[in-house]
Structure 1
């Protein structure tokens, strides 16, 4: 079971407020932070964590949705707003060692001179660092952070779309960014996602990012998905694709249950 830790992971959230209204307000604040940290949280999990009925948990979710802070989805809730800076910074340090190991594996899989698409996010930033040991690559990304890392190697050919830069994660977007990706052909699309749910869907938090990554995957000969094992069984708001769209899964621990079965059924290579 998850613990209700703060953004820094230093201890349990305090939800003690005077009066019933204060308790409800504190519980809803804690639920919102839990969703922000874990991408998706189920009503049954809220009920168990806070010692309330599922009806109370559902009312909390409805109140937060009415406030425009979350969205109800499949018996739980997901974020509706971009990540706060503090949450994104926390993700950069969470599981940092695992992300570094995954990045090194992905770097080994990429041959010299390859044409690559690289997704945004903290795992892909680690992958960008790992690719710097190559001499010649041709790369496309919509992440300003990834592009900044890759630009350290002057022998790389690097393309980014034009548009507005989103705060916090540095994604570059405009209306035709997905069409920009369709102008290229890639040997590999290197992506990371917020979760792989038990239905076999790969999911992310942001619709615009999902559209761009899906467009790039359609232009790629092979797709490499790099995620740490904490993403197994998690569901986010946007369906990017399915396990069938992945050729190689790079992770830190072997998946289990239905996810493993779906990976095997679709002949996805698993590298741990």
Structure 2
């Protein structure tokens, strides 16, 4: 190529080439983009981790359609990173606040971190959040109700949406299956994305808790649009270029280390 692309542009072009040709080889890609084979291998490793491609011997091919994993499967993925993200989020919460907590594994970690708080109200659609706070005497728990999505252990649908109209919150903490600068939060189900948008509209501060593996991913075709102001909280495994893209779009990004403290490398 005569014009040198940014790393993000090059990876997008790699996905497009693999999709159109059915396969993309390392050596061919290196020659096409004018970069080293090791650079292409790093690109392919990242694109594979993000679910865009599947690795083959000597290259990559388009990945199979994404399949939503169960809550139990997700609970073992990026465990330490999710716990660290939740620890940072818990430090933002003060007494007498009302929170909206999404369903998901990372918000489950956040609920656990809030178990010993006093004078706190948590409004949630997540069964894990309810279970974590069931014996937390200092936390008032309000369940929005609705239809249970067994695979996500969360409530969705018109009952939950109607209940949201009756509450507001100081902060909302959301999870995501994928997250991009251009489109927002990616989920497997349209009802999930609609509920996330409504939750964001009812809160004073919006936080998306997403470990590094979620950034730049588009595993499904349902999207929640983001408000003008929101905060992304991720871990220090996030690619610096991906973090920079969110910041360039005006998003506040907090990158935490394994202890839940802002990373000095962010």
TM-based fold match above 0.5: yes
CA RMSD of aligned residues (A): 2.8
Cα distance in 1, alignment partners of residues 132 and 168 from structure 2? 22
Aligned to 2:231: 248
**Is 1:163–1:173's contact at 8 Å kept on the other side of the alignment?**
yes
Aligned to 1:141: 124
Change over 3 Å in CA distance of 1:174–1:265 after alignment to 2: closer
Cα distance in 2, alignment partners of residues 212 and 124 from structure 1? 15
**Is 2:246–2:253's contact at 8 Å kept on the other side of the alignment?**
no
Cα distance in 2, alignment partners of residues 39 and 53 from structure 1? 12
Q: Does 1:126 align with 2:114?
A: no
RCO higher in 1 or 2 (8 Å CA, sep ≥ 6)? Answer: 2
Equivalent residue in structure 2 for 1:188, among 147, 171, 176: 171
Task: Report SS of the residue matched to 1:112.
Answer: coil
Cα distance in 2, alignment partners of residues 213 and 127 from structure 1? 17
Aligned to 1:49: 56
Cα distance in 2, alignment partners of residues 53 and 110 from structure 1? 44
Aligned to 2:95: 112
Query: What are the within-5 Å matches in structure 2 for residues 102-251 of structure 1?
Result: 102-197=85-180, 199=182, 201-237=184-220, 238-242=222-226, 245-251=228-234
Number of corresponding residues: 208
Structure 1 runs not aligned, ≥5 long: 1-37, 62-76
1:166-197 per-residue CA deviation (whole Å, 9 max, x = no partner) reads 32432223423222212211100011111122
Q: Does 1:270 align with 2:254?
A: yes
**Is 2:99–2:172's contact at 8 Å kept on the other side of the alignment?**
yes
Normalised by the length of structure 1, the TM-score is 0.67
Cα distance in 2, alignment partners of residues 241 and 155 from structure 1? 34
Task: Report SS of the residue matched to 1:176.
Answer: helix
- Shift in Å at residue 135 of structure 1? 1.0
**Is 1:247–1:268's contact at 8 Å kept on the other side of the alignment?**
yes
Cα distance in 1, alignment partners of residues 81 and 105 from structure 2? 12
Cα distance in 2, alignment partners of residues 241 and 176 from structure 1? 21
Task: Report SS of the residue matched to 1:149.
Answer: helix
Aligned to 1:27: none
Change over 3 Å in CA distance of 1:245–1:182 after alignment to 2: farther
Cα distance in 2, alignment partners of residues 156 and 96 from structure 1? 25
Aligned to 1:260: 244
Normalised by the length of structure 2, the TM-score is 0.68
Task: Report SS of the residue matched to 2:88.
Answer: helix
- Shift in Å at residue 53 of structure 1? 8.9
Aligned to 1:70: none
Equivalent residue in structure 2 for 1:78, among 36, 61, 66: 66
